[in-house]
Structures are given as structure tokens and as C-alpha cells.
């Protein structure tokens, strides 16, 4: 089955920007997306992902009880002027052709994001 579209609920972008989580429970993502990348708007963050990722970019990884898991690695420019390599994770529920956004995080190698640079 071919993936024909992407679904990125606003609630997923809000999760990445959430201030209420404790460190180690999403807090690290919050710090990265707000402080390093400079996003404060969940709409802006979601829009940036949907501009960068397309269904044909998704690489199959594995499957679980809910569907097939894919990923896409992109270079994303943050509103802070930082450009970073980002790994996004998507799931296609069995019997469907829409990839749903799950999460995203920086490629980590020896620090918060060794592949980041300033514009």
C-alpha cells in the first residue's frame, strides 16, 4: 500500500513545545524545540514539518501492533536561525494510506545536536 498523505495533528506539535513535562518525560524535547530551534507556535512548527516532509521521503523501519513505522530525516531551519538534522517518526495504521506524525527529535551525536549550525 502506498502512503498518499501525511497527518500531523496540532496536539503533536503542542506536545513538542509543552512546558509542563518533567525532565526526561518530554522536557528535553521542549527545551530543544523552544530554546535551540526557537519555535513558540505549534502551528509554525507543524507547518515547517509539512513543508519539509512528503510521503515519498518516508523510510520503512518496522511494524508494531498498531501499524508500520516510518521515519524521515530532514534538515530543518528553526526560527532561532539554527539549522539542524531532525529525525521524524510516523505510523501508518494497518489498512490505511495516511502516515500519522508520532514524534521528532534532533540527530544526537556527542551533544544536544552535533549536526546543528547557525544561519
User: pLDDT tens digits for 40-80?
Assistant: 999 999 999 999 999 999 999 999 999 999 999 999 999 99
The grid cell for 97 is 494510506
pLDDT in tens, 85-99: 999 999 999 999 999
The grid cell for 6 is 501525511
The grid cell for 103 is 514524534
Q: Give the separation between CA 99 and CA 89, rounded to whole angstroms.
A: 9
Give the pairing type, strands 98-106 and 117-118. unpaired
At residue 38, φ and ψ (nearest 5 deg) are 85, 15
Element housing 28 (H / E): helix 27-31
The grid cell for 105 is 527529535
85 in Cβ contact with 111 (< 8 Å):
no
* pTM score, whole prediction: 0.84
Amino acid at each position: 500500500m502506498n502512503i498518499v498523505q501525511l497527518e500531523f495533528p496540532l496536539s503533536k506539535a503542542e506536545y513538542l513545545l509543552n512546558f509542563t513535562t518533567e525532565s526526561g518525560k518530554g522536557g528535553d524535547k521542549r527545551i530543544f524545540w523552544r530554546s535551540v530551534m526557537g519555535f513558540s507556535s505549534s502551528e509554525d512548527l507543524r507547518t515547517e514539518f509539512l513543508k519539509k516532509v512528503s510521503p515519498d521521503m518516508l523510510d520503512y523501519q518496522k511494524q508494531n501492533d498498531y501499524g508500520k513505522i516510518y521515519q524521515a530525516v530532514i534538515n530543518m531551519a528553526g526560527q532561532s536561525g539554527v539549522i539542524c538534522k531532525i529525525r521524524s517518526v510516523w505510523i501508518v495504521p494497518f489498512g490505511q494510506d495516511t502516515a500519522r506524525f508520532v514524534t521528532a527529535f534532533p540527530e544526537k551525536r556527542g551533544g544536544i545536536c552535533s549536526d546543528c549550525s547557525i544561519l
